Structure 1
Amino acid sequence: MKSFVTGAAVTLGLLLAPLAGSTLASAAPAPDSTTSPAAHQPTAEARQHGITKAGEAFMGWRQPTTAAGPAVMAPTATVEGIDVSSHQGNVDWAAQWNAGKRFAYSKATEGNYYSNPYFAQQYNGSYNVGMIRGAYHFATPNDSSGANQANYFVDRGGAWSRDGRTLPGALDIEYNPYGATCYGLSASAMVSWIRDFLNTYKSRTGRDAVIYTNLDWWSRCTGNSTAFNATNPLWVARYASAPGTLPGGWPYHTIWQYSSTPIDQDRFNGDQTRLVALANG
């Protein structure tokens, strides 16, 4: 299921059986929390990035301030994509397609208290113009178990179907916009939480979820754990000319978020056939 630029093949999950389920998402349920509980008051830094209340966190809201290490060459065979959240509202998917975007991830959920009210338009709209699409979950590990949040995600848009157009769900695990950077967890507790989420997601969908993170946060909050580099595709965030040193001993990245201008920009590490292979499992 993983993508490569060259033929160094570590192929995962090729024998997955097709899963039942509709191709398109139904209308997203209303957010599960209409007010921001005290535990989810955005920090001053988060507010500077436009996160004003619970549920508004998004991929790459904060970029690392430490050096990302020596550069790793960017791949030559790539597919362009974007990721979106409620901040983008209803997306003009025809315009994104005309701009050359061929895949998209949409935020479905956050923690165990929020679902994106624009998710159906974003998830279905990208599909309807011909893109390969996926859903992501913004994790808040201090709120509930990994299993609880994985189930919450799957039940609200994070499921997978083997239609060749749906990517495995992504776990967005990064800086906490509501408090302590590592959500008050030790490195070992964070690794356990991530494992709980991933195991539950796989038991529900048959797929290994993609992990979105960056070198700085992963090193600080998991001790640069290598526990997942053989099973879960890496979506690395680094706004630079190359992906840089990868976290967690991953030998390669599958997706690279390289810019947030004018919208989060992503690059798949492989050609279109490898992107379809990732969708198919």
Structure 2
Amino acid sequence: MEAKNWHPSDDDYPAQGIDISHHQGAIDWSLLPDQGVDFAYIKATEGGDFVDPRFAENWEAAGEAGIARGAYHFFTLCKPGAEQAANFIATVPRDERALPPVVDLEYMGNCSERPKLDDVRAELGDYLRLVEAHYGKPAVLYLTEEFDEEYAISENFDRPLWLRSLVLEPEFGARDWTFWQVSNFRQLEGMQGRVDWNVMQETALTIQPTPVPEATSSSP
């Protein structure tokens, strides 16, 4: 099998899918289900004011194609968590059928600031509290190993984990993964260039969040 077509065994991982943003360009969503796309996470927002220019289009088209859909927010270290939550809430519709909201926590593409550990946790706590209250669902934490090592996010926030570990199953995180980002080189008909490929455990639909203690904080 060519690398661009590789994915984990469907027998071992029956729920597989993609995460996308405007970088994939216009997508023909009708072609994706027959290529094994069971679910899609769609970038909605970043920081306090950026909205992905293709979010609304992708959100609607994924639903029309019968693909389970969820939205994600890229969390910047340069903005207060409450401000970022407001951006996400203003952009993503409430839909009981949608997958849980995701917050993307990584260094790649982030601002150059590296706030103190306690400040990052406080701002993330503010973000989670507001988003989960609005959508009534657990938030999933997307983590790279470097980010988790620096801020011990998985140890301090009892949420489902989405862990990035290309090809090999993740060996980090405070508990088992719920989503695993398997590769960043899959290519699909109906889409430009490469796309991230992921697998999902059934528990993604059932795990409930542990409330974050009430707290407020200043901007990092």
2:129 maps to what in 1? 199
Structure 1 segment 21-36 matched on structure 2, within 5 A: none
Instruction: Give the alignment's TM-score, normalised by structure 2.
Output: 0.79
Describe the SS at the equivalent of 1:152: helix
Q: Tell me which of 164, 171, 174 is aligned to 1:237.
A: 164
Structure 1 segment 131-280 matched on structure 2, within 5 A: 131-142=67-78, 144-157=79-92, 159-162=93-96, 164=97, 166-180=98-112, 183-220=113-150, 222-223=151-152, 226-229=155-158, 232-242=159-169, 244-247=170-173, 249-250=174-175, 252-262=176-186, 263-270=195-202, 277=206
Aligned pair count reads 190
Deviations 1:208-251 (A, max 9, x none): 2111112222112x14551213xx21111111222x2132x12x
Describe the SS at the equivalent of 1:256: strand
Query: Which one-letter code corresponds to 2:77 in the other structure?
Result: P
Residue pair 1:174, 1:217 contacting (<8 A) in 2 also: yes
- Within the alignment, does 1:109 sit opposite 2:45 as a pair? yes
Residue pair 1:109, 1:116 contacting (<8 A) in 2 also: yes
Q: Distance in 2 between matches of 1:91 and 1:224?
A: 33
Describe the SS at the equivalent of 2:32: helix
Structure 1 segment 64-143 matched on structure 2, within 5 A: 76-142=12-78
Looking at secondary structure, tell me which structure has more strand per residue: 2
Residue pair 1:140, 1:176 contacting (<8 A) in 2 also: no
Identity %: 29
Shift of 1:176: 4.6
RMSD: 2.1
Point out where structure 1 has 5 or more consecutive residues left out of the alignment.
1-74
Point out where structure 2 has 5 or more consecutive residues left out of the alignment.
1-10, 187-194, 208-220
2:212 maps to what in 1? none
Q: Distance in 2 between matches of 1:276 and 1:207?
A: 9
Describe the SS at the equivalent of 2:141: strand
Instruction: Give the alignment's TM-score, normalised by structure 1.
Output: 0.63
Q: Distance in 2 between matches of 1:277 and 1:189?
A: 30
Describe the SS at the equivalent of 1:241: coil
Residue pair 1:160, 1:168 contacting (<8 A) in 2 also: no
Describe the SS at the equivalent of 2:142: strand
